Homo-oligomer: A and B are copies of this chain.
């Protein structure tokens, strides 16, 4: 089940990048050959790179290694290796060793230095990492230019469909892939996103740009409020587009990157575990953007709000009650709430025209928007989320069985 999953156009080839995938049976030996679970994104040239990482205090070793590599080798990154099926997290001292072995095997296969590679893992936490099966998959993976869709497929865990998107900006191309379905919440959830471009971005441009973009896209979604140990977004720039000429309009490039990342992030929500409704939460009139996001996220994680979505019950009192839990100062008599074009509350008062039937009609749809105006300022934020359904319980009560 996924909410109106988009029909995707073919992913665009990005000059300078080749893709390899393999089936290692990471999750269980008997799955070997049945589905791909290893992805290599190989760069033909030294790339500039940026990354954003989980804010979970218990970060997987691969996240620490990735951050270090971005810091020390952000000008000469040669690729990314990622596996699904095991997060290589919560296993203690061997975690870093296993992550380094995965990188070393890939470096050998690509004939680059291990320091030039980034890695990512997603899957079960707290289970020993099957490094032998992964190493053998790395050796078996052969890379070809066009297989971004195969890469998007191989990083899936409980995702029901592969997620990719491409953009052209002037003469440049960007293609991104992402995965994520559960443990999805702002601050990076087991959510991986890898974006490659041939645009000649400088390192100094890339990191702040990625941070801004992620705030409005991957960090603006929530499926279940759990932030994973392994969340990572990488942006690689080969600079191979248009003879290395500089980007004419960086703002236009950033807008395209934002749009690409929002598209991928929305795909994750649409494919959220058990999600049957796709809900856009707009917070307006906040004193700051930070406040706006905080209120939006608090609404997006409220089990009572999410079950009201699931039940098509316009029990909108739960939305304002959840907003009140965000720890943000606002006055009850200034808030206004509408869902699509139905006003529930205006300046803290019940809207005289509101009737429950109109609210119910909005909540019965598979997609709708909520707009909460706090009346405290001019800042706003948009968060995308889903509902909380029986299927979420079924998926997660039985994830490992």
**Considering the chains assembled together, what is the distance between the CA atoms of A311 and B323 in angstroms?**
31
| B residues near A307, Cβ cutoff 8 Å | 392-393, 396-397
Q: Do A350 and B89 touch across chains, with their CB atoms under 8 A apart? A: no
Say which size band chain A's interface belongs to: 35 or more
Asked if residues A316 and B401 are in contact (CB atoms below 8 Å), the reply is no
Of the listed stretches A23-31, A122-130, A140-148, name the one at the interface; the rest are far from the partner chain: A122-130
Please, which residues of chain B bring their CB within 8 A of the CB of A302? 225-226
Is A237 close to B, CB under 8 A? Answer: no
Cβ of A343 under 8 Å from chain B: no
> Which B residue's beta carbon lies closest to that of A56?
B324
A95 to chain B, nearest CB (A): 9
The answer to whether B303 and A225 have CB atoms under 8 Å apart is yes
> Which residue of the partner chain, among B323, B350, B397, contacts A58 with CB atoms under 8 Å?
B323
Which residues 303-334 of A sit at the B interface, judged by CB distance below 8 A?
Answer: 303-304, 307-308, 310-311, 313, 315-318, 320-330, 332-333
Q: How far is the CA of A332 from the CA of B389 in the complex (A)?
A: 33
Q: How far is the CB of A59 from chain B (nearest CB, A)?
A: 8
Is A92's beta carbon under 8 Å from chain B?
yes
Please report whether the interface of chain A is mostly helix, strand, loop or mixed according to DSSP.
loop
A90 on interface, CB distance cutoff 8 Å = yes
Copies of this chain, whole number? 2
Minimum distance in angstroms from A39 CB to a CB of chain B = 22
Interface residues of A in 387-401 (CB under 8 A from B): 388-390, 392-394, 396-401
B contact residues around A125 at 8 Å (CB):
315, 317-318, 320-321
Task: Please give the distance in Å from A262's CB to the nearest CB on chain B.
Answer: 24
Q: Kindly identify, within residues 323 to 363 of chain A, every residue whose CB is under 8 Å from any CB belonging to chain B.
A: 323-330, 332-333, 344-345, 348-350
Q: Which residue of B lies closest to A318 (CB)?
A: B125
Are B310 and A92 in contact (CB-based, < 8 A)?
no
- A308–B397 Cα distance when bound, in Å, is 5
A-B contact pairs, 6 of them (CB 8 A): A57-B325, A59-B324, A87-B317, A183-B304, A226-B318, A390-B390
Q: Told that A57-B327, A313-B398, A390-B393 touch, could you supply 4 new A-B pairs with CB distance under 8 A?
A: A59-B332, A93-B333, A126-B350, A313-B401
